Amino acid sequence: MNQPLHDRGVISRYKAYLPVTEATPVISLNEGSTPLIHSPKLSERTGAEVYLKFEGLNPTGSFKDRGMTVALSKAVERGASTVICASTGNTSAAAAAYAARASIRCAVILPAGKIAAGKLVQAFAYGAKVVAIRGNFDDALRIVREFGGVDGVAIVNSINPDRIEGQKTASFEIIEELGDAPDIHILPVGNAGNITAYWKGYREFQSAGRSTRRPRMVGFQAEGAAPIYLGHPVEPHTVATAIRIGNPASWEGANNAVKESGGCIDIVTDQQILDAQQWLASNEGIFVEPASAASVAGLLKCLSSGRCTTCPLPLRAGGKIVLTVTGHGLKDPEAPVKHGGFAPIEADADLTAVRRVLD
Ligand SMILES: *Cc1c(COP(=O)(O)O)cnc(C)c1O
């Protein structure tokens, strides 16, 4: 509880719950401890207490850092000299940053032309070797899996259980902050590692006596990339690149989380996602990337229709709802600019002209 402020990463905070020992070198960028921000406007609209877990404030701008600190620490402990991952963007940004920190090599396999600008530049800046394949994320992950047996190479996708272990710490933080688990937890679902991780975290803290209950887990997929909702793999299409996944690696983990918690997997359209992104930024001052806005879009959709299409979302007055907003809006500036038609109003360089356009 009393680590110095320069040592507040998730391994340092939660080592008793993580697969680390004294022999594990801790590769950290002080990830985690992200704010749980109360949302007055969503609370008013739902009648519940709504909070946003803003994971875009992690060191590389997404929740992937929580998993990557554990994955890189364990990879270095086992003697890896290279880490490799398939990515829709944020995994590669996190892997590259933590590999730089650990002074080992990082290779990332990306679907060509499908990575948001901010994420791609991160991979380069942190010094990763970047390979763009002519295929989608699922193809990239298949290739990475084939690296499984190569000496000295560690896979740091969420098929690596160390990633799930690190990511579960977000649930711990929420319980510590609220004093107990919320009633409902809503998050976007792509490869389904994160919903699996949150559910693991909620269960573990309850077993440890740190909370009295567990939330219903509600996951939202994009309508054009909704394999779990539909029950079969798909060719994924959505503006929300971080959840553009057609055959999730942690499919079973998502199904278990939903079944055991009494939650559901539902869908939102790209239009609903982009509207929610803009709504959240302009109403609550929180700018998230499109995939992250899927959780907000989902809550708004359930409100307008009274319920999810797959499960009655049991909103109750005074209940607590936590939404994970998974990544920072600056990761992908193109999508909201295009959607909002944003452009500055031009004016001559004098007060009268500027006042005229402002009035
Ligand atoms: C990775 C990611 C997701 C999807 O998480 P999964 O664990 O793949 O379900 C959602 N939003 C953002 C911003 C991400 O980086």
Q: What is the pLDDT of residue 105?
A: 98
Mean pLDDT of the chain: 94
Alpha carbon of 199 to ligand 1 centroid (Å): 15
% of the chain at pLDDT higher than 90: 87
What is the number of other CB atoms lying within 10 angstroms of the CB of residue 220? Answer: 32
14 vs 30: CA distance, rounded Å? 12
Q: What is the pLDDT of residue 149?
A: 77
Alpha carbon of 107 to ligand 1 centroid (Å): 19
What predicted TM-score, i.e. pTM, was given to this entire model? Answer: 0.95
Alpha carbon of 351 to ligand 1 centroid (Å): 46
Check: CB of residue 121 under 8 Å from CB of residue 90.
no
Check: CB of residue 153 under 8 Å from CB of residue 80.
yes
Q: What is the pLDDT of residue 62?
A: 98
64 lines ligand 1 (CB under 6 A): yes
DSSP state of 329: G
- Nearest protein Cα to ligand 1, atom 14: 242
238 lines ligand 1 (CB under 6 A): no
Alpha carbon of 114 to ligand 1 centroid (Å): 15
pLDDT digits (tens, 9 = 90+) for 18-45: 999 999 999 999 999 999 999 999 999 8
Mean pLDDT across 347-359: 95
Q: What is the pLDDT of residue 154?
A: 96
How many Å from the N-terminal Cα to the C-terminal Cα in the chain?
52
- Nearest protein Cα to ligand 1, atom 5: 190
Mean pLDDT across 191-216: 98
150 vs 153: CA distance, rounded Å? 6
Atom in ligand 1 nearest the alpha carbon of residue 89:
15
Atom in ligand 1 nearest the alpha carbon of residue 327:
13
Mean pLDDT across 164-186: 98
pLDDT of 6 higher than 80: no
Check: CB of residue 133 under 8 Å from CB of residue 109.
yes
DSSP state of 346: P
